[in-house]
Amino acid sequence: MAPSTRLWLRLHTWSSLVCTLFLLIVCLTGLPLIFLDEISEHWRGDPPAAALSADTPLVDLDRLVASAVGTGGVFPGETVRWLSIEDDSGQIWMGLGPSYDAARGLDHVVRFDARSGRVIHAARSGEHTSPLWIGLMFRLHTDWFAGLPGELFLAAMALLFVIATVSGVALYGPFMKKLPFGTVRHDRPARIRWLDLHNLLGIVTVAWVLCVGATGIINQLSTPLYDVWRNTELGALLAAYRNQPMPSRPGSVQAAYETALRAEPGKTVRSIRFPDGRLGSPYHYLIWTHGDTPLTSQLATPVLVDARTGRMTAKPSLPWYLTTLLTARPLHFGDYAGLPLKIIWALLDVMTIAILGSGVYLWIARHKARAERYRRLAGAPESGQAPATRRVGDRERD
């Protein structure tokens, strides 16, 4: 075996062994998450939207706020944290907390019909969108219930997965060059058949695996990347407001919404974060707009609207790393082309699970075979038999 091939083999073996268990769990938990929207929509069983004409505008957002936190509202006296306009379901989601400083675990979420303003459902945050088991799958897939350290750990595992894939491609040529593409030697022992299947699935899915692995690394870095943007570029825009108190009663959110639409003609508003010193601006509505094409619908543009005056303060351009993140997130779960692409993503995910599982089997089988050879060699002098030999063609290809 050539020294370079031996080096690639060691790199492939150990990078795979370190990350395989974690990647198996990530792939298994990622399978239902591909269909998160469909599962959640079916589980919620929301009533149909109000029978209104297609050109009926969105309900006045100030009216929604009043119906949620005003006297006689759903959660009177609470603080609105954010609004999310769900174009695909015709709903507007509102996040509220008992107070600005209250723990996020005490938050509520109210879902409204986006046209009529009717309350569809109100519940504790996390209790209204999807079944409990989906939430568990999501946490296992993203941070292993460890927050940012868990996210960074899984990013490292995804990096090892990419290294294992690249080294596997480097090994594919030397080990399979004498066999026609797609060959699975059914007449050979089980370990050879699994090796051929492992190699075949690996080379067929290599582009997808690299795509999902790379986007997985980027997604796991979303928290620090967003913090960098807030502390640098967004922080520079807020320098003029430094030491000013955060408005206790922000102005009209409807006026801020209309200001953002005028600032970004041809786009629609996806979400509005109310003044927030931890996740947005303490002095502004942070409004995210997006386009209407498959690509631009995933690329959000921020607009800062002064919460006191309703005037636009800035349209900060996103740095390349946040643009990359916004592009990578839907690509990771196959969200660009609806259900058909999601089904393809799910099939490729199942194939990747087979690759990971067969890799573990091959490593165990290889070491068992090696131990058996050593045992026979050690016993050969006592039995009077010649040491067992191995055909060159079986070396490391089996």
Q: What average pLDDT score do residues 232-252 get?
A: 89
**What are 252-277's pLDDT values in tens digits?**
999 999 999 999 998 999 999 999 98
Tracing tokens 């386009």 back to the chain, one arrives at: 291
Q: In whole angstroms, give the CA distance from residue 158 to residue 68.
A: 42
According to the model, what pLDDT value does residue 380 have?
A: 59
Q: What average pLDDT score do residues 328-344 get?
A: 89
**What are 167-194's pLDDT values in tens digits?**
999 998 887 888 888 888 888 888 889 9
Residue 346 — very low, low, confident or very high, per pLDDT cuts 50/70/90?
A: very high
> String of b and e for 63-99 (b: at least 16 CB within 10 Å)?
ebbebbbeeebbbeebbbbbbbbeeebbbbbbbbbee
What are the C-alpha distances in Å from 369 to residues 171, 334, 390, 398?
21, 41, 12, 10
Where is 387: in which H helix or E strand?
none
Residue 337 — very low, low, confident or very high, per pLDDT cuts 50/70/90?
A: confident
Tokens coding 35: 């269909």
Residue 20: closest CA among 141, 219, 164, 117: 164
Tokens coding 150: 């868990």
Output phi, psi for 58, to 5 deg.
Answer: -60, 150
284 contacts: CB under 8 Å, gap ≥ 6 = 238, 275, 304, 305, 306, 307, 313
**36-44 vs 3-34: helix crossing angle, rounded to 10:** 20
Contact (Cβ atoms closer than 8 angstroms) between residue 127 and residue 106? no
Residue 394 — very low, low, confident or very high, per pLDDT cuts 50/70/90?
A: very low
**What are 5-38's pLDDT values in tens digits?**
889 999 999 999 999 999 999 999 999 999 998 9
Q: In whole angstroms, give the CA distance from residue 85 to residue 249.
A: 22
> String of b and e for 143-159 (b: at least 16 CB within 10 Å)?
bbeeeeebbeebbebbb
According to the model, what pLDDT value does residue 225 have?
A: 94
The better pLDDT of the pair 11, 368 is held by: 11
357: three-class secondary structure by DSSP: helix
**What are 65-76's pLDDT values in tens digits?**
999 999 889 999
Question: pTM value?
Answer: 0.85
- Helical spans, DSSP H, in 251-307: 253-263
Where is 155: in which H helix or E strand?
helix 147-176
**One-letter amino acid for residue 381 of the chain:** P
Residue 227: closest CA among 325, 334, 145, 161: 325
Q: What average pLDDT score do residues 34-46 get?
A: 89
Q: In whole angstroms, give the CA distance from residue 217 to residue 336.
A: 19
According to the model, what pLDDT value does residue 391 have?
A: 43
**What are 207-223's pLDDT values in tens digits?**
999 999 999 999 999 99
Contact (Cβ atoms closer than 8 angstroms) between residue 172 and residue 199? yes
204 contacts: CB under 8 Å, gap ≥ 6 = 351
Q: What is the largest CA-CA distance in the chain?
A: 96
Region of 362 (left: φ > 0; alpha: ψ -120 to 50; beta: rest) is alpha
Contact (Cβ atoms closer than 8 angstroms) between residue 259 and residue 273? no
Contact (Cβ atoms closer than 8 angstroms) between residue 105 and residue 122? no
Contact (Cβ atoms closer than 8 angstroms) between residue 103 and residue 70? no
Instruction: Return the CA Rg of the chain.
Output: 27
Q: What average pLDDT score do residues 386-391 get?
A: 46
According to the model, what pLDDT value does residue 398 have?
A: 40
Instruction: Parse the chain into domains and list their residue ranges.
Output: 3-37+134-219+343-360, 50-130+222-338, 364-394
According to the model, what pLDDT value does residue 369 have?
A: 82
Where is 241: in which H helix or E strand?
none
According to the model, what pLDDT value does residue 381 have?
A: 55
Q: E-assigned strands of 88-240?
A: 91-97, 108-113, 119-124
